[in-house]
Amino acid sequence: MQTSPGTSLYPNLLSPLKVGRTTLRNRMIMGSMHTRLDMEENGLAKMAVFLAERARGEIALIITGGYAPNAAGLIEPGGPILTEHAQALELRRITEAVHRYDGKICLQILHSGRYARQEECLGPTDIRSRINRFAPRAMTSAEIEQTISDYVRCALLAREAGFDGVEIMGSEGYLINEFTVLRTNDRSDEWGGSAENRHRLPVELTARVGAAAGQDFIIIYRISAIDLVEGGATGDEIVSLARKVETAGADILNTGIGWHEARVPTIAYPVPRGAWRFAAARLKRAVGIPVVASNRINTPDLAEEILATGDSDLVSMARPMLADPLFAKKVREGNAGKINVCIACNQACLDLIFSNRSATCLVNPRACRETEFDEGPAAKPRKVAIVGAGAGGLAAAAEASRRGHRVTLFEAADCIGGQLNLARAVPGKAEFDEMLRYFSGQIEDGGVDVKLNASPTMGDLSHGGFEAVVIASGVHPRVPAIAGIDHSKVVFYNDLLSGKKRAGHKVAIVGAGGIGFDVAEYLCHSQPGEGPKVRGQDISAFQSEWNIDASLTLAGGLTGDPLGPRKSPREITMLQRKATRPGLGLGVSTGWILRSSLAKRDVKIVAGVTYQRIDDNGLHILVDGVPRVIEADTIVICAGQVSNRGLFDELRAAGIEAHVIGGAKQASELDAMRAVEEGVRIAQAL
């Protein structure tokens, strides 16, 4: 057999694995994701295109989002369910699309238990979860038996639909996980009490589904490898359950990390890469079947290292498959450096899902909307100028050059990246550097002519022979009208995060939006007088920050309250004029992490203020009409942005084809997600 160029660098990642009678072509799995795509009109057709693209990208095995085995198990009304023959026939569309590209696909069976966002939700007992307004009703023994039968029916229907197997979702705090731990199971019948009884449901499910589905059907059990909630399982209990499901017939043991109600981040950018491999490694040592490591594995180098050290046999990557459908193919072809890496921002995937929209990806707006974008070249190559090499300009330049346009990219600074260059100072956000690396490679491959330290004038653009101009010149920080704004204590956020200026011990932050919170987080993790450093990949610091017990001796894998107080190197006060709760605009899946981190460090947040002046004593404000002075050594201004778009208006007035994107178009919602999408869409339209 011919060796692929990537094999010498990634021998473990690219080696096939036999599972039962099926052979997986490599060790990369696309983990289960609820994208909401299947809830759209023509959802299954779109899903088929989405999954086919990942199979074409050579992922070995795809696990679908969760399908409920019965109505009570639905995550929400209208969610994915598999209970009927007709549904199985429809799902054939998906399995055939994946098999066309030699991929394997398993259907995840998910009973949401007490997380179901519906009136009639069920659980082992009636203990309500703090993240669901609906309280569960305790299941009767007959309902438990019926649920097992429903899982079997679901697996048989999955088989009929052409799936290669099923994943029994036993983690993240859903029904099965709820049965396994004392936190949510205080039953006194054969389904509760001793660990033996609490483990009965997953063991019965695995055995009965396996027996019904037959030998040539893959059974994956997704175990909660660490619960991260008080009253969760100990490491010994988890190992004991793993061994039981292995004996019951599971072919693969996938790992889930943390319950949805855990107060520990598990996948967002503050979690270091590979932070949870220890949990998979414990199970790998305990069982003989292949074990999958999951969560925060986003590069082939890390994945290869996890396999090479024997921590797992397979790696699961869910969001990285949104970011780059061709991930595995690029690894095999020796093009790993061209992978569009998931930066764990959650902005366009989880945060959209939580606001009832379909997922996509900040770094790859095509994700889940494959049918809306044209992969081919432009009908007529044109000479295009793009002004500004921030997120939007880079995305536009990459896509326009890919389509065959001749692109000149002007950037006023001495490097590309714009505001992306500020992100790396914020703990965990150095992941944004991956975006810069990827787009730099794309524009290089596309032959884009990059002109740094260049601010083209109207004359340069109109005489340069450009047939279209894209203005992506971004923003500049707003200067609020506060008396004393020129005082030496005042520092603008961009100067602080870029390292041009330093902050002292007592800091006031004017503005409590996304950037205000990021600045506060940066200040909480740097000493007064110290400049920016890349932080956030230190696993032991992460464990100690969130009280994680990596030995799993203690229940739930926690050494104490994850939100307990921490020392801060500074006294920080954040301020905003609105009386509303600060941080409302933060991402749903990441905002709570930032808020918790700042609260642990006693950062004060004052809303409803009127700014009066800045002087040697600090920042003078009124709160409810009462004067106050925030004694501060440094006052950091994070008061939003103003667009740089003068050139666009001039070009339009002169009758030149001009487009404006990103912050230059709308500063009030300056946002990398919108900028990248607008960049790609405008390049598609050129």
Out of 585, 617, 649, 653, point to the residue binding ligand NAP (CB under 6 A): 585
> Which string of DSSP letters, residue by residue, matches 55-99?
HHTT-SEEEEEEEBSSGGG-SSTT--B--SHHHHHHHHHHHHHHH
Task: Using alpha carbons, list the distances in angstroms from residue 266 to 56, 102, 610, 651.
Answer: 29, 32, 38, 47
Residue 323 interacts with, from ligand SF4, ligand NAP, none (CB under 5-8 Å by kind): ligand SF4
Return the number of the residue (152 or 672) whose C-beta is nearest ligand SF4.
672
DSSP state of 128: P
d(CA 298, CA 60): 16
Distance separating alpha carbons of residues 456 and 452, to the nearest angstrom: 11
Give the pairing of strands 626-630 and 252-257. unpaired
Asked if 238 is part of the footprint of ligand SF4 (rule: CB under 6 A), the reply reads: no
Answer yes or no: 174 catalytic. yes
Note whether 252 binds ligand SF4 by CB under 6 A.
no
d(Cα 424, Cα 328) in Å, to the nearest integer?
Answer: 27
Residue count at the site for ligand NAP (CB under 6 A)?
A: 24
The interface partner of residue 362, options being ligand SF4, ligand NAP, none and the CB cut-off 5 to 8 Å by kind, is ligand SF4
Residue for token digits 């996938």?
Answer: 254
CB 288 within 8 A of CB 1: no
The residues with which 643 forms a beta bridge, in sequence order, are 475
Does position 671 interact with ligand NAP (CB under 6 A)? The reply is yes
Give the one residue of 326, 362, 594, 632 binding ligand SF4; rule: CB under 6 A.
362
The nearest distance, CB 343 to ligand SF4, in angstroms, is 5
Which is nearer to ligand NAP, 202 or 514 (by Cβ)? 514
* Cα 248 to chain centroid, rounded: 33
Active-site annotation holder among 67, 115, 174, 221: 174
* Strand, helix or coil for residue 615: strand
Nearer to ligand NAP, 105 or 586 (CB): 586
How many residues in the shown chain lie near ligand SF4 by CB under 6 A? 14
Residue 638 is a binding residue for ligand NAP (CB under 6 A): yes
How many other CB atoms sit within 10 Å of the CB of residue 204?
Answer: 17
Which CB atom, from 168 or from 343, has the smaller least distance to ligand SF4?
343
Among ligand NAP, ligand SF4, none, what does residue 349 contact (CB within 5–8 Å per kind)?
ligand SF4
What is the nearest approach in angstroms of ligand NAP to the Cβ of residue 423?
8
Q: Which pair of structure tokens corresponds to residue 379?
A: 């009908």
- Residue 436 lies near ligand SF4 (rule: CB under 6 A): no
587 binds ligand NAP (CB under 6 A): yes
User: Which residues, 6 or more positions from 299, have their beta carbon under 8 angstroms from its beta carbon?
Assistant: 273, 336, 339, 341
Report the alpha-carbon distance of residue 21 to residue 669 in Å, rounded: 52
Among 245, 420, 639, 661, binds ligand NAP (CB under 6 A): 639
Close Cβ partners of 639 (under 8 Å, ≥ 6 residues apart): 477, 478, 479, 480, 510, 511
- Please identify which residue in 220, 241, 339, 363 interacts with ligand SF4, judged by CB under 6 A: 363
Which positions from 332 through 361 interact with ligand SF4, judged by CB under 6 A?
Answer: 342-349, 361
CB 563 within 8 A of CB 263: yes
Using the contact rule CB under 6 A, the part of the chain among 111-119, 329-337, 395-403, 665-673 near ligand NAP is 665-673
Q: Which does 562 bind (CB under 5 to 8 A by kind): ligand SF4, ligand NAP, none?
A: none
Strand partners, 30: 62
Does 670 interact with ligand NAP (rule: CB under 6 A)?
A: yes
Query: What minimum distance in Å lies between the beta carbon of 321 and ligand SF4?
Result: 8
Nearer to ligand SF4, 226 or 343 (CB): 343
Q: Any contact of residue 319 with ligand SF4 (CB under 6 A)?
A: yes
19 near ligand SF4, rule: CB under 6 A: no
Residues constituting the chain: 686
Catalytic residues: 174
Residues of the shown chain interacting with ligand NAP in the complex, contacts defined by CB under 6 A = 478, 480, 510-518, 576-578, 585-587, 638-641, 669-671
Residues of the shown chain interacting with ligand SF4 in the complex, contacts defined by CB under 6 A = 319, 322-323, 342-349, 361-363
